[in-house]
Amino acid sequence: MTTDAQPAPLPSPQAPTARADRALAPDIARGLVLLGIAVANVPFFLYGRELGLLFKPVTDATADPWVNALVATLADNRSYPLFALLFGYGLTQLLTREQARGTEWPDARRLLLRRNAWLIVFGAAHGVLLFFGDILGTYGLLGLALVLLIRASGRTLAIVGWLSFGFLILVGALEGLSGLLTQFGDGGISTPSAALFNSAGAETYPLAVLARLGEWTLGMLSVPFGGLGLLAPMILGMWAARYRVLEQPLKHRRALLLVAGIGIPVSVLGALPIALALLGAIELAPVVEPFAAMLHAATGAVGGAAYVALIALIVGGRGPGRELGSPMAKPRGPISRMFAALGQRSLSGYLTQSLVFVIVFAPYGFGLGATASVAEATQIAVITWLATLVIANTLAAVNRSGPAEWLLRRAVYRRRG
């Protein structure tokens, strides 16, 4: 018996995953966490003010303590660990996909290294041209280390993950030293001020670029120390990807319920001392402040994982029939598609935030950074996020990638993808 039917060709090695075949939960999480990143980053574009807890500007605006407390509870030290978890998850997904296509490990390793190297390049451009607090370069640098761990045993991942979690807590303690520095301000040590980030108040764009060059370079040099803590959520993401936790949330429902049910209350309670201090309800002694900041950072990493677990539980599947082995995969609703569209273009969304903030707040832009309150800046951050949401869905409607995603894929895969 013969037939003219031919088997469908396998995807070519080292090609980006089609958007329709991407896991839904991680993309929704990426789209939502960009809101947390926006409200967490925007205070750094304000200048000419003294800095307080978590380097937040000290102002006289009535609403600012409430906004600072809310952002500290839900976003600060929570958004970037969440994004780091998704970064580790995505990196492992990439390797799994290449292995399924028959790509040998040396070739897959080169792809992973090339992708992270290009992330560093993108981070350098972002950090120097727009925002000294760039995270892309840090993720790219840590991603090079993850390539060494991506095939390691679960025990090795656990050891490295717990060690890096300790570094994350120590970094939180350093953030809490602002109170001690303030106490010694009259003794020759400068009180924390917006001058700590010179680029924010630079009068001209060339001067800002020069300042950001030094700030971003210093930040990258400090990654083996402070930034090492982000390896913890990245490794957790790698571990979760091995079991396809976010691609098959129904299969892992009990574990996800446990993480979300415990992690979210722990995250909120851990942020409470800092949030109450920002609100003015309590006053943290300078010697207590580093410990409160340590608690804030540690529980923030837990909160990031809990947010992802909650999103996976709500989503429940990858789309119609796309969760392999699960007959209960849920169809994509309009809200899911809306957030996923931005998540699929999260790099463009992240860079757009910085571009808008520079235009609005910098002295050589509209200059609102000198006068805007934290509450006003946060409103602008939320509006910016909503704008990127609209743009991403417009691009999704015509089946187009974000410009940054298009450029990164073309650089990584060395062809138009």
Q: List own/partner pairs for 144-147 with CB under 8 A and 24 or more apart.
A: 144/113, 144/116, 144/117, 145/231, 146/88, 146/91, 146/116, 146/231, 146/234, 146/235, 146/238, 147/109, 147/112, 147/113, 147/116
Q: Does 344 map to a domain? A: yes
Amino acid at residue number 394: T
Whether 158 is in a domain gets the answer yes
Judge contact between 330 and 47, C-beta under 8 A. no
Residue 22 lies inside a defined structural domain of this protein:
no
Residue 123: CB atoms within 10 A of its CB come to: 21
- pLDDT confidence band for 343 (50 / 70 / 90): very high
The residue segments making up the domain with residue 227 are 27-413
Q: Is 131 a residue whose pLDDT tops 90?
A: yes
Query: Distance between CA 27 and CA 349 in Å, rounded?
Result: 13
Residue 12 within any structural domain of the chain = no
What's the distance, Cα to Cα, between the start and end of the chain in Å? 40
Condensed to tens digits (0 to 9), the pLDDT of residues 294-313 reads 899 889 999 999 999 999 99
pLDDT band at 335 (very low <50, low <70, confident <90, very high): confident
Judged against a pLDDT cut of 80, whether residue 321 lies above it is answered with no
Give pLDDT tens digits for 41-78: 999 999 988 888 888 888 889 999 999 999 999 999 99
Mean pLDDT of the chain: 85
Is residue 18 a part of any domain in this protein? Answer: no
**What are the structure tokens assigned to 409, written together?**
């894929």
**Dist. CA 238–CA 93, nearest whole Å:** 8
Please tell me what DSSP assigns to residue 51.
B
Question: Which residue type is seen at 363?
Answer: P
Instruction: Identify whether 11 is part of a domain.
Output: no
Does residue 16 belong to any structural domain of this protein?
no
As for how many domains the chain has, the answer is: 1
Q: Residue 14: which residues within 8 A CB-CB, separation 6 or more?
A: 98, 103, 107, 111, 413
DSSP result, 294-345:
HHHHHHHHHHHHHHHHHHHHHH-SSSTTTSTT-TTPPPPPHHHHHHHHHHTT
Q: What share of the chain is helix, strand, coil (3-state, %, to 5)?
A: 70, 0, 30
Q: State residue 17's pLDDT score.
A: 58
Supply the pTM of this predicted model: 0.86
141 is a domain residue: yes
Q: What is the pLDDT of residue 171?
A: 74
For residue 230, what are the CA distances in angstroms to 81, 156, 235, 319, 370? 6, 17, 9, 30, 32
The yes-or-no verdict on residue 179 having pLDDT over 80 is: no
Q: Positive or negative, the Cα torsion across 348, 349, 354, 355?
A: positive
Q: How far apart are CA 410 and CA 406, in angstroms?
A: 6
Query: 275 pLDDT exceeds 50?
Result: yes
- Amino acid symbol at 381: A
By the 8 A CB rule, do 239 and 157 touch? yes
- What proportion of the chain, given as a percentage, has pLDDT over 90? 61
Q: Check residue 54 and give its pLDDT.
A: 84
What pLDDT sits at residue 216?
Answer: 93
Q: Which two tokens stand for residue 50?
A: 């003294």
Nearest-CA neighbor of 141 among 195, 214, 216? 216
**Residue 398 half-sphere exposure toward CB, CA atoms < 13 A:** 8
